[in-house]
Amino acid sequence: MSVAVLDRVEVDYAGRGRALGPFSLSLAAGGITALVGPSGCGKSTALRLLAGLEGPTRGTVERAAGRGETSVVFQAATLAPWLTAEANVALPLELSGMPRAEARARAVTALGRVGLKGAERARPAQLSGGMAMRASLARALVTEPRLLLLDEPFAALDEITRRTLADDVLDLWSQTRPAIVFVTHNVEEAVYMADRVVVISRGPGTITGEVRIDAHLPRPAGFRVTATFREASEAVSNLLAKGSEVAA
Amino acid sequence: MRRLLEALAPFTLITLLLVVWEVGCRVTGVPAYFLPPPSAVAVALVTDPQSLIEAAWNTLSVALIALAIASISALSIAMFVGLSPLLEKAVAPLASTLQVTPVVAIAPLVLIWAGIDHPERAVIALAVLVAFFPIFSGAVTGLKSADPDLERLFDLYGANRFQRVIRLRLPASVPFLLEGHKVGAGLAIIGAVVAEFGAGSGGIRGLAWRILDASNKLQTARMIAALVVLGIMGVALHALLDRMERVGMTWWRGR
């Protein structure tokens, strides 16, 4: 069963020409898909199509369109500075008309799940970069989405924080198993987090190929030194190289 | 020690200038109607302080009422205009025309409209006109200042127009509104004084009237005394709003 389908979509931007496509992608429920490609290959555009924030110029998009069924985490935490962490996380629920008390209670639970227990009353300015990202993740998960979209979510963080967060995202995923799509240009991050890595060619983006990673999710300790990890990383790197050749 | 010096520096300079002024007046023997010494101004300040305070209050209250009216009208018009880019395009040239037209030039017209019996209405209206623009332009900019990704999230959450304004655009505009009100308050005082001049003598007994009145009687020390009060009032109001802006920003940012 698929959560969302992009069927031969193309996206043209005025003045810039074709940004993406033709591009087809079907997302299985509970799967974790990484979209990898060079800057400007249209991977963020693909994500916005899945989020319904943008429409395709041609082709069709099928997606879970219900309120809260799709969540997005952007590259920056994108929290409202005037609201506490708790109020930020409760926002999607309150906007959909849930009574305030219940929304706040769920927000507190969600913050606990991402390891931010005790930071409910903190403002975004008082949180570190990693904590703010966690709050953003809690806000995305609070609606219990079927599809979670992450747009280079850890790009602004340091390597250690990135790795911890990657493990945490996988742990969170294993609790409710939403389908996850995330965009990155980091090959290792893609292979570590996804069971399916889709490589996109230099813009306008088309799919160069994809690599499946058959290993347990969440990853066991030491996964980064296994042969599976190394081979998959190499396969993705080769596809990336091929994708840039085609366009050049 | 350094901070104490910095705090004292402006007062030292003022004292120094006053001493130079006083000595200069006494040595040259310049007539008091032309330039009275600071001691004469001080006497003018303390004789009949009641009427001076009354005049200051008349001007200040006009400015504050004008600021309140300007604030409410600028914010509501900005929110209304924010509903559509077309409305904003339609209003923009009118608003900037309003801004560049000198208040002195509009004063006679507004005085006619307010009617000869109600010069105070005209003075308030003119001060509103002056204070309106900084608040309005701050609000228009502020309402558009929300993080575009937050706007996208509101799309995704299916927020309606009302929720978007109340829960996103209005709170996002707070820093711009604080700044707009700070500038607007200063302008409201200037507007009130200029409008009083426009209204002429008699009707409105504010500081401007006092300056005109003293000028007609060649009581230069009283003129300067009124100016001193006006200056102190302006500085105090600015300091107050500056403080409010800082407190507001700390609340908004959370630190």
Mark whether A152 and A243 lie in a shared domain. Answer: yes
Residues of chain A with C-beta less than 8 angstroms from the C-beta of B166: none
pLDDT at B47 over 80: yes
Q: How far apart (Å, rounded) are the C-alpha atoms in residues B190 and A172?
A: 60
State mean pLDDT over B30-58: 91
Helix (H, G, I), strand (E, B) or coil at B5: helix
pLDDT on residue A44:
86
pLDDT at A120: 92
**CATH number, domain at A152?**
3.40.50.300
Query: Partners of A179 in the beta sheet?
Result: A147
Shared-domain flag, residues A85 and A110:
yes
pLDDT of residue B140: 92
Report the CATH number that the domain containing residue B100 is assigned in CATH. 1.10.3720.10
Q: State which of A123, A145, A167 marks the end of a domain.
A: A145
Residue B41 forms part of a structural domain: no
pTM for this entry: 0.83
Is residue B56 predicted with pLDDT exceeding 80?
Answer: yes
Answer yes or no: do A235 and A184 share one domain.
yes
Please answer yes or no on whether A80 and B252 come within 8 Å at the CB atom.
no
**Cβ–Cβ below 8 Å for B253 and A125:** yes
Taking CB atoms and an 8 Å limit, are A72 and B156 in contact across chains? Answer: yes
- Mean pLDDT by runs of 10 across the 248 residues of chain A is 87 86 89 90 88 89 81 92 95 93 95 92 92 94 92 86 90 91 91 93 86 88 90 91 71
Band (B14; pLDDT cuts 50, 70, 90): very high
Is B87 within a domain?
A: yes
Residues in chain B within 8 Å Cβ distance of A125: 253-255
A70 belongs to a structural domain: no
Q: How many domains does chain A have?
A: 2
Distance CA A28, CA B138 (A): 48
Q: What is the pLDDT of residue A202?
A: 84
| Interface contact B147-A78, CB threshold 8 A | yes
Is the domain of A55 the same as that of A155?
yes
Distances (CA, A) of B42 to A174, B36, B224: 80, 10, 9
Question: Residue A79: which domain range?
Answer: 75-145
Q: Are residues A155 and A36 in the same domain?
A: yes
Q: Is the pLDDT of residue B200 over 90?
A: no
Which of A94, A116, A145 is the C-terminal boundary of a domain?
A145
Per-residue confidence (pLDDT) for residue B203, from 0 to 100: 67
A69 belongs to a structural domain: no
At A204, list the tokens: 């306008």
Question: What is residue B201's predicted lDDT score, i.e. its pLDDT?
Answer: 57
Q: Which residue has the higher pLDDT, A156 or B38?
A: B38
Looking at the fold, whether A86 and A155 belong to one and the same domain comes out as no
Structural domains of chain B, count: 1
Q: Is residue A136 part of a domain?
A: yes
The pLDDT of B73-93, averaged and rounded, is 89
Where does the pLDDT of residue B197 fall: very low under 50, low under 70, confident under 90, or very high at 90 and above? confident
CA of B174 to nearest chain A CA: how many angstroms apart? 9
Predicted complex ipTM: 0.85
The H-or-E segment that residue A82 falls in is none
Q: What's residue A203's pLDDT? A: 72
Tell me what the mean pLDDT of segment B56-73 comes to: 94
- Distance to chain B for A247, nearest Cα, Å: 31
pLDDT computed for residue A199 by the predictor: 92
* Average of per-residue pLDDT across B66-72: 96
* pLDDT (tens digit per residue) in B111-162: 888 887 888 888 999 999 999 999 999 999 999 999 999 999 998 888 888 8
Phi-psi region of A17 (alpha: psi -120 to 50; beta: other; left: phi over 0): left
Residue B109 is part of which domain span? 50-253
Strand A32-36 relative to strand A2-13: parallel, antiparallel, unpaired?
unpaired
